[in-house]
């Protein structure tokens, strides 16, 4: 009898083994039936069957059944194999996997933590790789991002060792790593992994599939988070046609496209896509989780449009549905609370708005912690409520916290974005950095805000300019021939694009979109490969403390700031910093219109011989009263007087209209001006004091003067009057050459007459002289359609042969038309040039923005020049000649460039009493 039992038992065990091998073809119920009939067998012999049951339950998404048998499996394995066996690790993996699927992340963490501890003892297998990956997923769900990344990377390396890196499993783990970097706000690495995953998926499956489309969507979401909405829309549109077979993906795709249009302020298109999404779901005749998202997005959109009744209707539907489907502790429930807060805020019901915001904030903080994008969006909204309620101290707390985050995000993002992307990113994210300005103008009594405001000024001024200069410097200093060649190609492409964009659409001979893609690809390659050579974001890390450390007891640093208020007026203030201060000090100055009204009495309209000035008389716009009365001093410097006590040197960074006025020459009384009392240093940003600012030796000087603007004998006529020859410039450069000739340490080269060409100056690239002196006509074409985009084309210098193009714009077919614009200058490499002297008219002018002045000064700064001497208006030929000769005489006598400049200016001032002759030139570091 026993023998029969044995044989019977053996047959059952054999059947179980066969069944396990063919488990994929068996139903879950069949497997469970076999197990129930086999309970009298040894526990060890049942392990393969239990394993198959749990595996099948996971495959069929029957979580409750899976959990029941996973627990039996775990208990059985522990008894038969021990709690350090591979089989036990696998049973724990099942428990963790199943708990993760139903959202029990704490339990899943418990099981998987124990599972990976066993697998991580030198075991190399697919099971181990899966366990590592699942533990990474659970850590991600619990917002333990660094730990998630650690286990994902372990899974990645093991999978690569087992299967290689040309399979979908590897693409999946790469994508997951990208997701973690996204949540950490590290968009550089996020994009790198997403792109790698997408490329691999395309190689394996091609482009026409859901997997690839989902990865394109991830790229779109990342670019959207960076504020690059057009680029996000490109990826969303590219992905949407491959989601037709999956309603969830299809609806999400349409919602993403709608959101991109919403952010691009195209509300009609956004409504179309949101409504399309909602209609798809309503046709199902059963509730779908995304239905609430559609209501939520529509509610936000109508809030922005100002139709609050419709907005509330949609938002309340969303809140009710999310509570029913997800519960009140879900992040999506928090999102709708935030939207409702915004709707109440727009209605002026601030207490209700604050209540909804705070509920939303608490949920987000509990689930994801403080530093995630949605948490900060809500914090921004709470700050706006406090401002509206005039609770400024509370508002400052919100916005200083936001500032810290935005500064870190800026540093991270600028390290991998292209020039164009950096511009778009800053344009769409700068509002938060500027938020404190308004609060301080309103309250002006919070030292915590003053620190953050000074840091904001250091970030904002010249942000894009400095990041591009650092980018160029990193490449040039790499000495890597491949990178240098790539950069030269990038410059060529940029120049070609600029020329094409200057033409009408039907006159363009190149596909600009394709060229833009090539440019982006090359820039991305360079950015990825230059990081070991230099830090293109180092200027962003400078704080007010760093500036303070660079000051002596006799120094003061002043950041002037201009703030746009809700009534469209502009208010000017000053942030003052000295060595012994515990915090920067904020001093309110005046509203722009009040300043302008004070200066209306007299304008610079001189009865001069137009041939005697190096520019164009119709551009005189500066106001004479500013330089002949004490108005400038009273409104700008007198409010700062107590902070200037004991000071001998002032470093100041202008803002707004101060870029166009020589505030350093403000009369203090009838006989003295500011430069008589202090050594005045105009700087683009006081952060320059904290950066490497070592003085370079002057070894070479290239001079341009006596330019022949008409290089043939024919009479030129056109829509503009030809510019005239400037005899003073010829004398000027000859005198300077003679002066420098007496100093054998400085070698000179002179370009004059027909040799003073645009091309000759461009050929100075990469071998730029220590000093570049250009004496010629300069211009800034002030138009009714001034914009930052074309400011660099509206400023320039007149070189040999320029009259033909000047009098008849567009008549010269050659790129070298004799007119050297600021944009063209920006492409020249003048990093070796310590000083540029623009002995010409209006060279300091341009389009004023938050960034600074878009004109010649920006062009030369982008080219790498450290210091520029330039003019605010049309300067007199003879007075300029006198000033420049004296400047170089003092320079060769050992004076610093600042000392030499002040002495030369004083000499002209003694000869010509009128400020017009001596106060037009400024020096900018």
**Higher pLDDT, residue 558 or 468:** 558
Cα angle, residue 318 at apex, residues 314 and 324 outer, rounded to 5°? 150
**Rounded Cα–Cα distance for residues 87 and 74 (Å):** 9
Closest CA to 303 of 346, 266, 366, 332: 346
Number of Cβ within 10 Å of residue 397's Cβ equals 18
DSSP track, 817-830: -SEEEHHHHHTS--
**Rounded Cα–Cα distance for residues 579 and 554 (Å):** 8
Task: Find which of 116-120, 563-567, 661-665, 677-681 is predicted with most confidence, using mean pLDDT.
Answer: 677-681
- pLDDT tens readout for residues 812-871: 766 678 888 888 888 888 888 898 988 877 776 767 777 677 778 888 888 888 888 888
Largest CA distance in the chain: 131
**Mean pLDDT along residues 800-810:** 79
Burial of 146 (0-12, 13-18, 19+ CB in 10 A): exposed
pLDDT-derived band at 355, boundaries 50, 70, 90: very high
pLDDT at 719: 66
Residues shown for the chain: 925
**Higher pLDDT, residue 810 or 210:** 210
Q: How far is CA 596 from the centre of its chain?
A: 34
**Higher pLDDT, residue 884 or 614:** 884
pLDDT at 591: 84
User: Which own/partner contact pairs does 142-147 have at CB distance under 8 Å and 24+ positions apart?
Assistant: 142/105, 142/106, 142/109, 143/183, 143/367, 143/368, 143/369, 143/372, 145/180, 145/183, 145/184, 146/184
Closest CA to 726 of 610, 885, 872, 857: 610
**Mean pLDDT along residues 270-285:** 89
pLDDT-derived band at 24, boundaries 50, 70, 90: very low
pLDDT-derived band at 418, boundaries 50, 70, 90: confident
pLDDT at 46: 52
**Pair type for strands 846-849 and 852-855:** antiparallel
**Rounded Cα–Cα distance for residues 44 and 627 (Å):** 98
pLDDT value at 729 more than 80: yes
pLDDT value at 184 more than 60: yes
**Mean pLDDT along residues 726-743:** 86
pLDDT at 401: 82
pLDDT value at 249 more than 70: yes
pLDDT value at 539 more than 90: no
**Higher pLDDT, residue 106 or 738:** 738
pLDDT at 620: 35
pLDDT at 558: 92
Number of Cβ within 10 Å of residue 15's Cβ equals 14
**Higher pLDDT, residue 285 or 601:** 285
pLDDT at 308: 85
Closest CA to 308 of 318, 295, 299, 316: 299
pLDDT at 529: 73
pLDDT at 599: 65
HSE-up of 17 (CA within 13 Å, CB side)?
A: 8
pLDDT at 773: 92
pLDDT value at 442 more than 90: no
**Higher pLDDT, residue 370 or 24:** 370
**Rounded Cα–Cα distance for residues 828 and 761 (Å):** 9
pLDDT-derived band at 21, boundaries 50, 70, 90: very low
pLDDT at 303: 87
Q: Percent of the chain having pLDDT more than 70? A: 79
Burial of 285 (0-12, 13-18, 19+ CB in 10 A): exposed
**Higher pLDDT, residue 487 or 68:** 487
Lowest average pLDDT, out of 186-190, 366-370, 889-893, goes to 366-370
* Two tokens, residue 800: 């040999």
Lowest average pLDDT, out of 273-287, 577-591, 690-704, goes to 690-704
Lowest average pLDDT, out of 6-15, 429-438, 516-525, 634-643, goes to 6-15
pLDDT at 275: 92
pLDDT at 880: 82
**Rounded Cα–Cα distance for residues 242 and 737 (Å):** 70
- Placement of tokens 């054999």 in the chain: 14
* Two tokens, residue 333: 């429930």
pLDDT-derived band at 671, boundaries 50, 70, 90: confident
Average pLDDT, whole number, for the chain? 79
pLDDT at 34: 55
- pLDDT tens readout for residues 293-331: 888 889 888 888 888 889 889 899 988 988 888 888 888
**Rounded Cα–Cα distance for residues 851 and 459 (Å):** 10
- pLDDT tens readout for residues 378-389: 888 998 898 889
Lowest average pLDDT, out of 308-322, 766-780, 867-881, goes to 867-881
**Higher pLDDT, residue 590 or 405:** 590
**Rounded Cα–Cα distance for residues 536 and 546 (Å):** 18
pLDDT at 613: 42
Which stretches of 708-788 are assigned E, i.e. beta strand? 747-753, 771-775, 778-780
pLDDT at 33: 55
pLDDT at 417: 74
- pLDDT tens readout for residues 697-707: 788 899 998 88
Q: How far is CA 143 from the centre of its chain?
A: 25
pLDDT at 553: 92
**Higher pLDDT, residue 839 or 223:** 223
**Rounded Cα–Cα distance for residues 880 and 869 (Å):** 12
pLDDT at 67: 64
pLDDT at 811: 67
pLDDT at 803: 82
Q: What are phi and psi of 808, to 5 degrees?
A: -130, 80
Q: Are 341 and 116 in contact (CB under 8 A)?
A: no
**Higher pLDDT, residue 172 or 367:** 172
pLDDT-derived band at 784, boundaries 50, 70, 90: low
Q: Are 560 and 654 in contact (CB under 8 A)?
A: yes
pLDDT at 47: 53
**Rounded Cα–Cα distance for residues 840 and 877 (Å):** 9
- pLDDT tens readout for residues 606-663: 333 334 444 443 333 445 566 777 888 888 999 999 999 989 999 988 888 888 888 8
**Mean pLDDT along residues 437-466:** 77
- pLDDT tens readout for residues 832-845: 889 898 887 777 67
Cα angle, residue 417 at apex, residues 416 and 421 outer, rounded to 5°? 175
- Placement of tokens 């683009």 in the chain: 684
Q: Are 593 and 853 in contact (CB under 8 A)?
A: no
pLDDT at 872: 79
Which spans in 502-550 are helix H?
512-530, 544-549
Q: Which residues pair with 587 in a beta bridge?
A: 574
pLDDT at 603: 42
**Higher pLDDT, residue 434 or 394:** 394
């Amino acid at each position: 009898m026993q023998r029969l039992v044995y044989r019977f038992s053996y047959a059952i065990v054999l059947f179980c083994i066969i069944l396990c091998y063919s488990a994929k073809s068996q139903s879950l119920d069949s497997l469970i039936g076999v197990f129930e009939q086999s309970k009298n067998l040894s526990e060890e012999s049942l392990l393969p069957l239990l394993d198959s049951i749990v595996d099948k339950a996971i495959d069929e998404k029957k979580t409750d059944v899976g959990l029941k048998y996973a627990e039996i499996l775990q208990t059985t394995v522990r008894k038969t194999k021990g709690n350090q066996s591979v089989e036990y690790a696998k049973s724990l993996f099942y428990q963790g996997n199943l708990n993760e699927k139903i959202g029990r992340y704490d339990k899943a963490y418990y099981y998987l933590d124990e599972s990976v501890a066993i697998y991580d003892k030198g075991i190399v297998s697919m099971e181990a790789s899966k366990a590592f990956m699942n533990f990474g997923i659970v850590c991600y769900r619990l917002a333990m991002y660094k730990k998630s990344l650690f286990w994902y990377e372990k899974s990645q390396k093991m999978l690569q060792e087992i299967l290689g890196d040309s399979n979908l499993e590897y693409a999946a783990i790469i994508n997951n790593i990208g997701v973690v970097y996204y949540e950490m706000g590290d968009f550089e690495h996020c994009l790198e992994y997403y792109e790698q995953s997408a490329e691999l998926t395309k190689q394996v499956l091609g482009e026409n599939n859901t997997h690839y489309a989902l990865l394109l969507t991830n790229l779109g979401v990342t670019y959207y988070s960076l504020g690059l909405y057009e680029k996000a829309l490109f990826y969303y549109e590219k992905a949407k046609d491959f989601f037709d077979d999956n309603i969830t993906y299809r609806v999400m795709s349409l919602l993403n496209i709608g959101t991109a249009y919403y952010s691009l302020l195209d509300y009609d298109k956004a409504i179309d896509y949101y409504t399309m999404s909602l209609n798809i779901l309503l046709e199902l005749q059963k509730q779908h989780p995304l239905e609430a998202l559609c209501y939520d997005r529509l509610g936000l959109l109508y809030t922005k449009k100002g139709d609050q009744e419709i907005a509330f209707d949609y938002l309340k539907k969303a809140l009710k549905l999310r509570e029913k489907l997800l519960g009140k502790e879900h992040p999506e429930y928090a999102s709708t609370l935030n939207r409702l807060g915004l709707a109440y805020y727009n209605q002026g019901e601030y207490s209700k708005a604050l209540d909804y915001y705070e509920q939303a904030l608490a949920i987000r903080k509990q689930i994801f912690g403080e530093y995630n994008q949605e948490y900060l969006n809500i914090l921004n909204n709470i700050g706006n409520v406090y401002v509206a309620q005039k609770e400024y101290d509370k508002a400052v707390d919100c916005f200083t916290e936001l500032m810290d985050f935005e500064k870190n995000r800026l540093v991270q993002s600028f390290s991998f974005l292209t020039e164009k992307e950096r511009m778009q990113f800053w344009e769409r994210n700068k509002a938060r950095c500027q938020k404190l300005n308004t609060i301080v103008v309103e309250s002006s009594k919070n030292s915590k805000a003053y620190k953050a405001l000074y840091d904001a000024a250091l970030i904002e001024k010249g942000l894009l300019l400095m990041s591009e200069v650092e980018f160029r410097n990193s490449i040039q200093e790499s000495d890597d021939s491949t990178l240098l060649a790539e950069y030269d190609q990038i410059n060529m492409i940029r120049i070609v694009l600029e020329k094409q964009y200057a033409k009408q659409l039907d006159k363009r001979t190149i596909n600009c979109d394709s060229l833009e893609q090539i440019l982006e690809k090359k820039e991305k390659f360079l950015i990825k490969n230059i990081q070991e050579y230099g830090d293109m974001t180092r200027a962003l890390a400078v704080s007010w403390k760093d500036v303070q450390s660079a000051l002596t007891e006799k120094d003061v640093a002043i950041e002037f700031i201009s703030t746009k208020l809700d009534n469209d007026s502009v208010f000017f203030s000053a942030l003052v910093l000295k060595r012994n201060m515990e915090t920067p000090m904020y001093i309110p100055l005046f509203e722009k219109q009040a300043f302008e009204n004070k200066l209306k009495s007299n304008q610079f309209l001189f009865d001069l011989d137009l041939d005697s000035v190096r520019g164009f008389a119709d551009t005189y716009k500066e106001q004479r009263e500013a330089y002949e009365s004490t108005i400038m001093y009273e409104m700008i410097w007198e409010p700062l007087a107590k902070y200037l006590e004991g000071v001998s040197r002032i470093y100041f960074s202008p803002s707004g209209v101060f870029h166009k006025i020589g505030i350093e020459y403000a009369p203090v009384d009838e006989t003295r001006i500011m430069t008589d009392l202090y050594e005045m240093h105009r700087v683009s940003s006081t952060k320059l004091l904290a950066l490497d600012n070592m003085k370079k030796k002057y070894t070479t000087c290239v001079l341009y003067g006596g330019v022949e603007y008409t290089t043939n004998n024919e009479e030129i006529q056109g829509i503009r009057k030809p510019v005239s020859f400037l005899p003073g410039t010829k004398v000027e450069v000859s005198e300077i050459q003679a002066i420098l000739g007496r100093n054998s340490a400085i070698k000179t080269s002179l370009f004059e007459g027909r040799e003073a060409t645009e091309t000759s100056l461009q050929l100075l690239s990469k071998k730029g002289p220590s000093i570049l002196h250009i004496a010629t006509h300069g211009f800034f074409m002030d138009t009714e359609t001034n914009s930052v985009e074309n400011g660099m084309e509206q400023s320039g210098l007149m070189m040999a042969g320029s009259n033909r193009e000047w009098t008849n714009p567009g008549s010269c077919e050659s790129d070298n038309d004799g007119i050297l614009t600021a944009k063209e200058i920006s492409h020249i490499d003048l990093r070796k040039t310590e000083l540029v002297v623009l002995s010409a008219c209006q060279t300091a002018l341009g389009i004023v923005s938050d960034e600074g002045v878009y004109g010649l000064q920006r062009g030369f700064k982008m080219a790498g020049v450290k210091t520029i001497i330039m003019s605010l208006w049309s300067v007199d030929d003879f007075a300029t000649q006198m000033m420049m000769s004296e400047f170089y005489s003092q320079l060769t006598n050992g004076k610093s460039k600042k000392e030499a400049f002040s002495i030369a200016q004083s000499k002209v001032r003694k000869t010509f009493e009128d400020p017009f002759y001596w106060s037009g030139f400024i020096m900018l570091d």
